[in-house]
Structure 1
Amino acid sequence: MAWYTDVQHEVKPITSGYRLALSYNLVHVTPGVPPPILPDMHSSIISLRRVLKKWRTYKYPDIEPNIMCHILSHKYSPAGLSTGFKALKGKDSYLVAQLMPLAAEQEFFVGLANLTYHQTGTADGDGGYGNYYKRRRGYGRYGYGRYGYYGDSDCDDDDDEEVPGIDEVIDTTLTVDILFDMAGNKPAGSKKISLDLENLVQQDAFEDVEPDEDHYEGYMGNYSGEVEQWYRRTVLIIMPEESARSILYTSDYALGILHRAALERPGKPSPEDLFFVAFSFEQIVQKAPQISRGISLIRDLVENGPQEDCQIAQQWAEQVISQLLTTLEAPTVQDVSLLIETARKQGLSYLTCTLIPRLEKKSGLHDFWLAMIKELESDRTYFVSPPEAEGSSTSETQNQFENTKKRCLDIVTSTSSSISS
């Protein structure tokens, strides 16, 4: 039996002659040898998730640019890469299939590109590569020539020319180009990106490996001359989305994404999406029996949330709490301490300009206003002489305090009259 990759077969009707069909029963007959299975990636995925999370939160030393490249097992032509993930074979396909959902979860860009490593150095005096000279490798118009993986041209006429190895490296460059995302789009256009060897996952990727192409300028009389070597690989590109936006994305690519998104039909929402629409934290807080309990929930969420999201969560919490405090409808006695605490932070103007105008006409709050007056009186010293009010006279702050307290008393008096009548 034989299996050939990248081959399509077809069955056509018989118009003459005979058709021979072979049938096989594949039986696993060696009980001591387990059948082949795909590797279990669970522990690797957990480790990789941890690495990506640390990378995204700047827990590793900075590298420029903020990109890592993994050399794939196969080499792919630009035409193949233009199909994105579909171009990948065997081990490469399995590896990337495991990585893609994890990269999306951690907000990483994943793409495919052609990498070229070029080095120049002095020729090896003894011929290099174990005292023998290798044949020169040609390079076709579109890719590797006779010895490579793709291209449409034959090798150069001097294909038999012997080229020595490199004795001492003088200069190196590492670039990636022809970069595609996993859908086959080109986010960087025709841009080439310069990298360093530290941007490669595989260490010593080009050590003791014959180049795909090389060139020798020949013996120069008083020294052995220079040799150029080119190594070409296909790589998996991964970087944080934030870096991809600044390094890769062109305006044409961004417009293309928007255009395709406009043409796509919205997918069916998941149960999780529906849950957060029906039971968002904002709605849960608004329906809390006491505003103090709702705000306590918000603060607990921020305190126990991921540290890397703390600043965003804090901004969200402040917006939700501010909205709750300015749209208060039916406060309870248990909410008074929280409202006084807010007045301490924002000043008595919160009570006189926001809370009292909003609630003074509402019925059923007699006990709430009594508790408010009591709490104000217990904090008289703070409000009359607040630490931050160095420029304000005590008489001004005292008048403001007395006016606030009087307004609360007037509300209690009016509600008492209503209850009596």
Structure 2
Amino acid sequence: MSKMRNKAIEILKANWRDGYTVPSKNLYPYQWKWDSGFIAIGLAHFDQKMAEREVETLLNAQWINGFIPHIVFHKVSDTYFPGPNFHRADLHPLANKEYPSTGMTQPPVLGFTLERMHEIAKDKKESLQFIKNNIDRVYKNHQYFYNNRDPKDEGLVYIYHNWESGTDNSPLWDPIFETIDAPVYNFERRDTSIIDPSERPTKREYDYYLHIIDIAKEHNYNDAKIAEFSPFLVQDPLFNSMLIKSNSALISLYKMIGGNEDKIEQLEQWQEKSITSFNRKLYDKDLGAYIHYDLRNDKPIRMVSSSSFSPLYAGIPNKDQAEALVRTMMDKFGGEDMYLCASFDPSTDKFNPKKYWRGPVWINLNWMLYHGLLDYGFNDLAQRVKSDSIEILEKVGFYEYFDPRKSIYKGDVKGYGGSDFSWSAALFLDLTEN
């Protein structure tokens, strides 16, 4: 295990770029929002200052309205498309003028990132001072979501692009794309020249991705206009779970700091409304799982993915719901030949064990699932998720995503996507801290 931990630290140091960490050299040459949160947790285990700089660099790219973009383009690179010239985040009047970025976001991880960094920190006083200096910026990001991404005032925020979900090409989005008449774009992919195309989204899927961005650009990334006109508008249980988990973390941290009663009260109000709406609208009793809601077409997306179990991490389900989630997970995802937890329902014909978010195991979702299961007292299952994650990493190394089928791990097998992947290394450090 010590050899693996040393390798994980080596990867994180190699991917460090003077203030931030790239997810994977060449394939992802910039700073990604939710990656940075998970990476900072890993960095905190061997260098608290690096972890703090990771978070601070991301926060420095925050917009005037509290928005934090999903990619910050710190340097010019020709290995990634679409870059800053396509995204044109500067069209928004409140965009950050210093840091070129995208005009979309990703799951809000920084609240629970700060909390976990403080738990890890050896110098608690210094750590708390860092949190004092930065927590209001994270709060402002949450304020942005509730003020600008909740058109029905439900306490559930929308995403307007599948990239905002983090689960880019999930089969969840297929029914939505079927309703969109996207043009055929002429562009040069960079990812498929680095990685096997069979592991990546298709060219046609990219047409949809670019078309949704173009619509947002037409409206200068105005949230109200996007809510009115974007063909993709979804309430995502994974995204909202991370927001709710981060709300909870901010409440705890503000209480530790002292004062800030107004912010604590506001966070508690958001929590109450969010969790009530979450269970009312996104819990599907027949499926025994949380599902996505398509706001544009006003209907639930009744499919089960690893995102369906993420509310465990945020303390959203009641006891009966949590037990139902576990039954569903084991029935659909927990077969003898399967590592937990595949990113999409293996019992369906849409499951693809090697194609990005259409089936592979991802360490960040497993990390959340592990902690959520522990919180609800499912200790044996939590340990299985942890041991499955570690076993895969030990077999093939720190890749981006992994085949969930145990039977294929014979001979010279590798993981999928980017190699020396930062959050796989970072969360391995956190999972194996003891």
Q: Which has the larger radius of gyration?
A: 1
TM more than 0.5: no
Q: Of the two structures, which has the highest relative contact order with CA contacts closer than 8 Å and spacing of 6 or more?
A: 2
Q: What's the TM-score, normalizing by structure 2? A: 0.23
The structure carrying a bigger helix percent of its residues is 2
